[in-house]
Protein backbone atom coordinates (compact mmCIF):
# COMPACT_ATOMS: atom_id res chain seq x y z
CA UNK A 1 0.00 0.00 0.00
CA UNK A 2 1.44 3.38 -0.97
CA UNK A 3 0.49 6.82 0.31
CA UNK A 4 1.46 10.00 -1.49
CA UNK A 5 3.76 11.92 0.84
CA UNK A 6 2.08 15.18 -0.16
CA UNK A 7 -1.45 14.01 0.68
CA UNK A 8 -3.07 15.11 3.96
CA UNK A 9 -5.48 13.02 5.97
CA UNK A 10 -8.52 14.92 7.15
CA UNK A 11 -8.78 14.23 10.88
CA UNK A 12 -12.55 14.77 10.83
CA UNK A 13 -13.18 12.48 7.89
CA UNK A 14 -10.81 9.80 9.21
CA UNK A 15 -11.27 9.10 12.95
CA UNK A 16 -8.32 8.02 15.16
CA UNK A 17 -9.19 4.31 14.99
CA UNK A 18 -8.91 4.43 11.19
CA UNK A 19 -5.51 6.06 11.43
CA UNK A 20 -4.31 3.37 13.82
CA UNK A 21 -5.43 0.66 11.41
CA UNK A 22 -3.81 2.48 8.49
CA UNK A 23 -0.51 2.81 10.35
CA UNK A 24 -0.61 -0.89 11.22
CA UNK A 25 -1.18 -1.86 7.59
CA UNK A 26 1.66 0.33 6.37
CA UNK A 27 4.01 -1.02 9.04
CA UNK A 28 3.15 -4.61 8.20
CA UNK A 29 3.83 -3.97 4.51
CA UNK A 30 7.23 -2.48 5.25
CA UNK A 31 8.19 -5.28 7.60
CA UNK A 32 7.22 -7.87 5.02
CA UNK A 33 9.37 -6.34 2.29
CA UNK A 34 12.32 -5.67 4.57
CA UNK A 35 12.57 -8.91 6.50
CA UNK A 36 16.28 -8.43 7.18
CA UNK A 37 16.73 -6.19 10.21
CA UNK A 38 19.29 -3.40 9.77
CA UNK A 39 22.70 -4.98 10.29
CA UNK A 40 25.43 -2.87 11.85
CA UNK A 41 27.98 -5.38 13.19
CA UNK A 42 30.91 -4.94 10.81
CA UNK A 43 32.66 -8.31 10.37
CA UNK A 44 34.87 -7.71 7.31
CA UNK A 45 35.93 -4.69 5.29
CA UNK A 46 38.48 -3.34 2.89
CA UNK A 47 38.75 0.46 2.86
CA UNK A 48 41.60 0.43 0.31
CA UNK A 49 43.67 2.87 2.34
CA UNK A 50 47.15 1.48 1.54
CA UNK A 51 48.59 2.14 -1.91
CA UNK A 52 49.96 -0.77 -3.94
CA UNK A 53 48.63 -4.24 -4.64
CA UNK A 54 45.31 -5.25 -3.05
CA UNK A 55 45.65 -6.75 0.43
CA UNK A 56 46.60 -10.45 -0.08
CA UNK A 57 44.85 -11.30 3.19
CA UNK A 58 41.61 -10.14 1.58
CA UNK A 59 41.88 -10.85 -2.16
CA UNK A 60 42.92 -13.56 -4.60
CA UNK A 61 43.49 -13.01 -8.32
CA UNK A 62 41.87 -15.23 -10.93
CA UNK A 63 44.14 -15.34 -13.97
CA UNK A 64 43.23 -16.25 -17.52
CA UNK A 65 40.66 -15.80 -20.25
CA UNK A 66 37.39 -17.20 -21.51
CA UNK A 67 38.86 -20.60 -22.32
CA UNK A 68 38.52 -21.57 -18.65
CA UNK A 69 35.08 -23.16 -18.72
CA UNK A 70 32.78 -24.08 -15.83
CA UNK A 71 33.25 -20.84 -13.89
CA UNK A 72 30.66 -18.05 -14.31
CA UNK A 73 31.89 -15.30 -16.59
CA UNK A 74 34.61 -17.43 -18.15
CA UNK A 75 32.29 -19.14 -20.63
CA UNK A 76 30.58 -16.00 -21.90
CA UNK A 77 32.87 -15.48 -24.92
CA UNK A 78 34.44 -12.50 -23.19
CA UNK A 79 37.48 -10.86 -24.72
CA UNK A 80 39.67 -9.95 -21.73
CA UNK A 81 42.63 -11.73 -20.17
CA UNK A 82 42.54 -11.30 -16.39
CA UNK A 83 45.90 -10.46 -14.84
CA UNK A 84 47.39 -9.47 -11.49
CA UNK A 85 49.51 -6.67 -12.98
CA UNK A 86 49.34 -3.17 -11.48
CA UNK A 87 48.35 -1.92 -14.92
CA UNK A 88 45.05 -3.77 -14.37
CA UNK A 89 44.57 -3.70 -10.60
CA UNK A 90 45.97 -1.53 -7.83
CA UNK A 91 45.09 0.52 -4.78
CA UNK A 92 45.81 4.22 -5.15
CA UNK A 93 44.67 7.33 -3.28
CA UNK A 94 42.20 5.43 -1.13
CA UNK A 95 40.41 3.46 -3.86
CA UNK A 96 40.76 0.16 -5.69
CA UNK A 97 41.18 0.52 -9.45
CA UNK A 98 40.26 -2.40 -11.72
CA UNK A 99 41.32 -1.19 -15.15
CA UNK A 100 40.40 -2.66 -18.52
CA UNK A 101 42.91 -2.00 -21.32
CA UNK A 102 42.95 -2.56 -25.04
CA UNK A 103 46.28 -4.29 -25.67
CA UNK A 104 47.68 -7.51 -27.07
CA UNK A 105 48.34 -9.89 -24.17
CA UNK A 106 48.54 -13.70 -24.08
CA UNK A 107 46.63 -13.96 -27.34
CA UNK A 108 43.85 -11.58 -26.24
CA UNK A 109 43.16 -8.01 -27.28
CA UNK A 110 42.05 -6.75 -23.87
CA UNK A 111 43.21 -7.11 -20.26
CA UNK A 112 41.44 -6.58 -16.96
CA UNK A 113 41.30 -8.08 -13.45
CA UNK A 114 39.06 -10.30 -11.35
CA UNK A 115 39.46 -10.40 -7.54
CA UNK A 116 37.83 -12.87 -5.15
CA UNK A 117 37.76 -13.57 -1.41
CA UNK A 118 37.54 -17.35 -1.95
CA UNK A 119 39.08 -19.23 1.02
CA UNK A 120 39.93 -15.87 2.62
CA UNK A 121 36.49 -14.55 3.57
CA UNK A 122 33.24 -16.46 3.08
CA UNK A 123 29.98 -15.88 4.92
CA UNK A 124 26.40 -17.06 4.92
CA UNK A 125 23.80 -14.29 5.36
CA UNK A 126 24.38 -10.66 6.29
CA UNK A 127 24.64 -7.30 4.56
CA UNK A 128 27.21 -6.81 1.78
CA UNK A 129 27.84 -3.37 0.35
CA UNK A 130 30.35 -1.50 -1.80
CA UNK A 131 30.72 2.09 -2.94
CA UNK A 132 31.62 2.05 -6.62
CA UNK A 133 31.94 4.22 -9.72
CA UNK A 134 31.81 2.40 -13.06
CA UNK A 135 33.25 3.02 -16.55
CA UNK A 136 31.29 3.99 -19.65
CA UNK A 137 31.16 2.53 -23.14
CA UNK A 138 29.95 -0.39 -25.19
CA UNK A 139 31.53 -3.66 -24.07
CA UNK A 140 32.24 -2.81 -20.42
CA UNK A 141 30.67 -5.16 -17.88
CA UNK A 142 31.76 -4.44 -14.28
CA UNK A 143 30.22 -6.40 -11.41
CA UNK A 144 30.11 -6.82 -7.61
CA UNK A 145 28.82 -10.32 -6.83
CA UNK A 146 28.94 -13.48 -4.72
CA UNK A 147 29.50 -17.13 -5.56
CA UNK A 148 28.81 -20.23 -3.47
CA UNK A 149 31.98 -21.53 -1.84
CA UNK A 150 31.48 -25.09 -3.10
CA UNK A 151 31.56 -24.27 -6.82
CA UNK A 152 34.78 -26.26 -7.25
CA UNK A 153 32.95 -29.49 -6.33
CA UNK A 154 29.35 -28.41 -6.99
CA UNK A 155 29.58 -26.67 -10.37
CA UNK A 156 27.64 -23.56 -11.22
CA UNK A 157 24.74 -22.94 -11.18
CA UNK A 158 24.16 -25.54 -8.44
CA UNK A 159 26.48 -23.62 -6.10
CA UNK A 160 24.46 -20.42 -6.52
CA UNK A 161 25.29 -16.87 -7.55
CA UNK A 162 24.12 -13.52 -6.16
CA UNK A 163 24.85 -10.49 -8.36
CA UNK A 164 24.61 -7.38 -6.20
CA UNK A 165 25.51 -5.00 -9.02
CA UNK A 166 25.96 -5.58 -12.72
CA UNK A 167 26.21 -2.79 -15.25
CA UNK A 168 26.41 -2.59 -19.04
CA UNK A 169 28.68 0.22 -20.12
CA UNK A 170 26.42 1.58 -22.85
CA UNK A 171 23.45 1.90 -20.44
CA UNK A 172 24.85 4.46 -17.97
CA UNK A 173 21.61 5.17 -16.11
CA UNK A 174 20.82 1.55 -15.16
CA UNK A 175 22.22 -1.28 -13.05
CA UNK A 176 20.68 -4.63 -12.19
CA UNK A 177 20.74 -7.38 -9.57
CA UNK A 178 20.31 -11.08 -10.25
CA UNK A 179 20.26 -14.52 -8.64
CA UNK A 180 21.27 -17.76 -10.36
CA UNK A 181 20.59 -21.33 -9.31
CA UNK A 182 19.34 -24.65 -10.68
CA UNK A 183 16.67 -23.99 -13.34
CA UNK A 184 17.17 -20.20 -13.15
CA UNK A 185 20.61 -19.40 -14.49
CA UNK A 186 22.10 -17.53 -17.43
CA UNK A 187 19.37 -16.15 -19.65
CA UNK A 188 16.77 -17.71 -17.34
CA UNK A 189 18.09 -16.01 -14.19
CA UNK A 190 15.87 -13.87 -11.95
CA UNK A 191 16.85 -10.23 -12.37
CA UNK A 192 15.60 -6.68 -11.89
CA UNK A 193 16.85 -3.32 -13.13
CA UNK A 194 17.27 -0.09 -11.17
CA UNK A 195 17.40 3.18 -13.11
CA UNK A 196 18.37 6.70 -12.12
CA UNK A 197 15.91 9.43 -13.01
CA UNK A 198 18.63 12.06 -12.82
CA UNK A 199 22.28 11.16 -13.13
CA UNK A 200 24.52 8.38 -14.40
CA UNK A 201 26.36 5.57 -12.67
CA UNK A 202 29.63 6.34 -14.44
CA UNK A 203 29.88 9.95 -13.26
CA UNK A 204 29.58 9.45 -9.51
CA UNK A 205 29.90 6.87 -6.76
CA UNK A 206 26.88 4.88 -5.59
CA UNK A 207 26.45 2.37 -2.77
CA UNK A 208 25.28 -1.08 -3.85
CA UNK A 209 23.93 -3.25 -1.05
CA UNK A 210 22.43 -6.66 -0.48
CA UNK A 211 20.82 -8.05 2.69
CA UNK A 212 20.54 -11.82 2.82
CA UNK A 213 18.62 -13.95 5.32
CA UNK A 214 17.47 -17.59 5.13
CA UNK A 215 14.28 -16.76 3.23
CA UNK A 216 14.84 -13.40 1.58
CA UNK A 217 17.42 -11.46 -0.40
CA UNK A 218 16.98 -7.68 -0.66
CA UNK A 219 18.90 -5.47 -3.09
CA UNK A 220 19.57 -1.75 -2.66
CA UNK A 221 21.07 1.20 -4.49
CA UNK A 222 21.95 4.07 -2.15
CA UNK A 223 19.76 2.43 0.52
CA UNK A 224 16.73 2.34 -1.80
CA UNK A 225 15.21 -1.15 -1.77
CA UNK A 226 14.28 -2.08 -5.34
CA UNK A 227 14.42 -5.88 -5.54
CA UNK A 228 13.27 -8.43 -2.97
CA UNK A 229 13.31 -12.20 -3.56
CA UNK A 230 12.05 -15.19 -1.56
CA UNK A 231 11.82 -18.96 -2.11
CA UNK A 232 8.25 -18.37 -3.27
CA UNK A 233 9.50 -16.08 -6.03
CA UNK A 234 11.93 -18.74 -7.26
CA UNK A 235 9.14 -21.31 -7.20
CA UNK A 236 6.85 -19.01 -9.18
CA UNK A 237 9.51 -17.98 -11.72
CA UNK A 238 10.53 -21.59 -12.42
CA UNK A 239 7.08 -23.20 -12.24
CA UNK A 240 8.18 -25.21 -9.25
CA UNK A 241 11.36 -26.63 -10.80
CA UNK A 242 13.93 -24.38 -9.13
CA UNK A 243 15.40 -24.64 -5.64
CA UNK A 244 16.22 -21.83 -3.21
CA UNK A 245 19.88 -22.68 -2.60
CA UNK A 246 20.85 -19.65 -0.54
CA UNK A 247 20.56 -21.15 2.94
CA UNK A 248 22.97 -24.07 2.96
CA UNK A 249 26.42 -22.64 2.15
CA UNK A 250 28.67 -19.60 2.56
CA UNK A 251 29.46 -17.35 -0.40
CA UNK A 252 32.56 -15.37 -1.33
CA UNK A 253 32.91 -11.93 -2.93
CA UNK A 254 34.01 -11.15 -6.49
CA UNK A 255 34.91 -7.82 -8.09
CA UNK A 256 35.71 -7.74 -11.80
CA UNK A 257 35.47 -5.84 -15.06
CA UNK A 258 34.71 -8.01 -18.08
CA UNK A 259 35.08 -6.81 -21.66
CA UNK A 260 32.78 -8.00 -24.43
CA UNK A 261 30.96 -11.29 -24.63
CA UNK A 262 27.42 -12.48 -25.10
CA UNK A 263 25.73 -10.10 -22.67
CA UNK A 264 27.34 -6.68 -23.03
CA UNK A 265 28.38 -7.14 -26.65
CA UNK A 266 31.83 -6.22 -27.87
CA UNK A 267 33.43 -2.77 -27.70
CA UNK A 268 32.93 -0.51 -30.69
CA UNK A 269 34.90 2.34 -32.22
CA UNK A 270 33.51 4.78 -29.64
CA UNK A 271 34.57 2.75 -26.59
CA UNK A 272 37.39 4.51 -24.74
CA UNK A 273 40.26 2.51 -23.17
CA UNK A 274 41.65 2.34 -20.59
CA UNK A 275 38.90 2.88 -18.02
CA UNK A 276 38.47 1.66 -14.45
CA UNK A 277 35.87 0.46 -12.03
CA UNK A 278 36.70 2.54 -8.94
CA UNK A 279 35.87 0.93 -5.57
CA UNK A 280 35.92 3.13 -2.47
CA UNK A 281 35.20 0.32 -0.01
CA UNK A 282 33.68 -3.13 0.46
CA UNK A 283 31.99 -3.92 3.81
CA UNK A 284 30.17 -6.93 5.26
CA UNK A 285 27.92 -6.90 8.33
CA UNK A 286 25.93 -9.44 10.30
Find out whether 280 and 95 touch, Cβ atoms under 8 Å.
yes
C-alpha distances in Å from residue 79, one per residue of 90, 114, 259: 21, 13, 6
Q: Compute the distance between CA of residue 161 and CA of residue 245 in angstroms, rounded to an integer.
A: 9
Strands (E), 173-269: 174-180, 190-195, 206-213, 216-221, 224-229, 251-259
Out of 166, 193, 236, 270, which one is annotated catalytic? 166
270 is catalytic: no
Angle at 215 between CA 209 and CA 217, to 5 degrees: 15
Out of 78, 122, 129, 161, which one is annotated catalytic? 161
166 is catalytic: yes
First-to-last alpha carbon distance for the chain, in angstroms, is: 29
Positions marked catalytic: 161, 166
Amino acid sequence: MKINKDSKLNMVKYPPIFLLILICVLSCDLDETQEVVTLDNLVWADEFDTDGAPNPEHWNFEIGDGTKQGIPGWGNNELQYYTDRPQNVKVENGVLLITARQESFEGNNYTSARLTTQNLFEQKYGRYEARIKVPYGKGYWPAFWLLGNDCDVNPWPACGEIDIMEYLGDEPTSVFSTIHGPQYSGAESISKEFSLENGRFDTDFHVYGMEWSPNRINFYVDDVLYHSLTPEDVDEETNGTGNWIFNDRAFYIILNVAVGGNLPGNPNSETVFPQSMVVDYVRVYN
